[in-house]
Amino acid sequence: MRTMWMALAVGALIAGPVVAQVPTGKMDPLRPDQQRFFELYKQLVETDTSVTTGSCTQAAEQIAARLKAAGFADDQVTLFSVPDHPKEGGIVAIYPGTSSTLEPILLLAHIDVVAAKRADWVRDPYKLVEENGYYYARGIADDKMMAATWADTLIRFKQAGYKPGRTVKMALTCGEETDTAFNGAQYLANHKRDLIDAAFALNEGGGGDTDGKGHLVAQSIQVGEKTYQDYKLVATNPGGHSSQPVRDNAIYAMSEALLKVGGHEFPTEFNDTTRAFFARAGAARKDELGAAMVALAKDPGDAKAEAVVNTDKGFHSMLRTTCVATMINGGHAVNALPQRVEANVNCRIFPGHTPAEIQGALAGVIGNPAISIDLARKDKPVAKSPPLDPAIIGPMETLSAKYFPGVPVIPSMSTGATDGLYMSAVGIPTYGVPGMWGDPDGNGAHGLNERLEVRSVYVGRDYLFDLVKALAQ
């Protein structure tokens, strides 16, 4: 998912003066090519792809049918799934380039969505509805707009007979929204690496932000993300009758451990992306926080600047590994001393550190060997930050200047997680692209009444089409 529409980037700008005001506004009547895109987008959005009641496989088959109708050969379209998860399939499509030396480009998006309960929504979550300049539906923003745009781009290439230098590949996968289910991006990276082999990939995670009043104030490029890792903490005890309590209590032991985790601050760290973010976003502000961001980017040891920056929870998280208790379960009877207590500690690990390293750090912080600490999942790769490559970042910035004049473009590291993690882990640097934009409230992604501004859809689509052409040359 695109984490809060990269609210960190927009927060750095709209908290100070708005540097540029590009009106979002009302759309002109749809062009014929936009109408064809809308039909593809609508079909994808109205196909339930939640893990509970839907089928990504069905959606992938619908995309495959459209590609083949446009002229793609059977060997250029690959549908995939595994027997244990027949409804969580995906699709890979390949549009050949003319160069024998340029490596391919990969267009990545996920087609699964967070489940939506009809009774809670104002509108049917699986019907695309247009109201007051917005499209409403589950997945309208996260991430079916991007998935539809990538498929539409390949169809337009085929229909126009376009000949890019690079081969352009597309992978639309399932499982990004359900961490414990089958993940198509992880499957492709680990088992079908040759099929998706590419010099780099474009993905969700970037994009624009408005001030909530109809003006676009920033575009961001996601360059890297943290590693998501859950740790299972367990305290055990022989227990006994609650009428005869003793100090050695599993609940107390776990409580003390979690208080130590809560009080621990991992050290400040920077990489090329976060240093550029704090320098540029800070310079855009004209307040104490902005000045502290710039100062900290120059000198990570500036304790006074760090104290100011840490007052913003988003910036605080971008500067370090964070760990927080998220769930706890303990005891077996109201009249008995607890025999077992389990807690989940969720960590977002700064790139360059392994889950095992943070596991050891937590053990040191807790200082109680009686509490076991295990990785709740052991298949997550270590986050690798892609380079700030001018050959990739440059075209994004150039096209942003064309489409969104005066709007700053800021590289940013996500504190959340996308499927780009799996691509980067196998040597395919992955970038979250600018283009479409959202509002400060997150547009209902993962929540109720998910929406995306109509103008954002079509301007974003045009931007992304031009970006793929520019990078494919």
Q: What is the pLDDT of residues 454-473, one digit of tens each?
A: 999 999 999 999 999 999 99
- pLDDT over 90 (residue 260): yes
- 59 and 193: one domain? yes
- 353 and 392: one domain? no
- 356 and 424: one domain? no
Find the mean pLDDT for residues 261-265.
Answer: 98
- 355 and 460: one domain? no
Q: What is the pTM of this model?
A: 0.93
Residue 237 is part of a domain; what is its CATH number? 3.30.70.360
Find the mean pLDDT for residues 121-144.
Answer: 97
Which range marks the domain in which residue 358 is found? 227-266+321-375
- 75 and 197: one domain? yes
- 81 and 170: one domain? yes
- 91 and 200: one domain? yes
Last residue of a domain, one of 313, 343, 375: 375
- 71 and 11: one domain? yes
> Residue 451: pLDDT band by 50, 70, 90 thresholds?
very high
> Residue 42: pLDDT band by 50, 70, 90 thresholds?
very high
- 144 and 69: one domain? yes
Q: Is residue 364 part of a domain?
A: yes
pLDDT value for 19: 46
Question: How many folded domains does the chain comprise?
Answer: 2
Per cent of the chain over pLDDT 90 is 89
How far from chain centre, in Å, is Cα 439? 16
> Residue 403: pLDDT band by 50, 70, 90 thresholds?
very high
- pLDDT over 90 (residue 294): yes
- pLDDT over 70 (residue 22): no
Find the mean pLDDT for residues 392-411.
Answer: 96
Q: CA 174, 175, 181 angle in degrees (round to 5)?
A: 130
Last residue of a domain, one of 338, 356, 375: 375
Q: Is residue 180 part of a domain?
A: yes
Q: Is residue 301 part of a domain?
A: no
Q: Is residue 300 part of a domain?
A: no
- 114 and 252: one domain? no
Average pLDDT, the chain: 94
Residue 403 is part of a domain; what is its CATH number? 3.40.630.10
Find the mean pLDDT for residues 46-67.
Answer: 98
Q: Is residue 142 part of a domain?
A: yes
pLDDT value for 15: 52
Q: Is residue 272 part of a domain?
A: no
Q: Is residue 281 part of a domain?
A: no
Find the mean pLDDT for residues 354-371.
Answer: 97
Query: 3-state secondary structure string, the chain?
Result: CCHHHCHHHHHHHHCCCCCCCEECCCCCCCCHHHHHHHHHHHHHHCCCCECCCCCHHHHHHHHHHHHHHCCCCHHHEEEEEECCEEEEEEEEEEECCCCCCCCCEEEEEECCECCCCHHHCCCCCCCCEEECCEEECCCCCCCHHHHHHHHHHHHHHHHHCCCCCCCEEEEEECCCCCCCCCCHHHHHHHHCHHHHCCCEEEECCCEEEECCCCEEEEEEEEEEECEEEEEEEEEECCCEECCCCCCCCHHHHHHHHHHHHHHCCCCCCCCHHHHHHHHHHHHHCCCHHHHHHHHHHHCCCCHHHHHHHCCCHHHHHHCCCEEEEEEEEECCCCCEECCEEEEEEEEEECCCCCHHHHHHHHHHHHCCCCCEEEECCCCCCCCCCCCCCHHHHHHHHHHHHHHCCCCCEEEEEECCCCCHHHHHHCCCCEEECCCCEECCCHHHCCCCCCEEEHHHHHHHHHHHHHHHHHHHC
> Residue 122: pLDDT band by 50, 70, 90 thresholds?
very high
Q: Is residue 49 part of a domain?
A: yes
pLDDT value for 380: 84
How far from chain centre, in Å, is Cα 397? 20
> Residue 28: pLDDT band by 50, 70, 90 thresholds?
confident
- 221 and 232: one domain? no
Q: What is the pLDDT of residues 365-400, one digit of tens each?
A: 999 999 999 999 888 888 889 999 999 999 999 999
Last residue of a domain, one of 335, 357, 375: 375
- 158 and 248: one domain? no
Instruction: Write b or e for each residue in 13-50: b if 16 or more Cβ atoms lie within 10 A of its Cβ, otherwise e.
Output: bbebeeeeebebeeeeeeeebbebbbebbbebbbbbbb
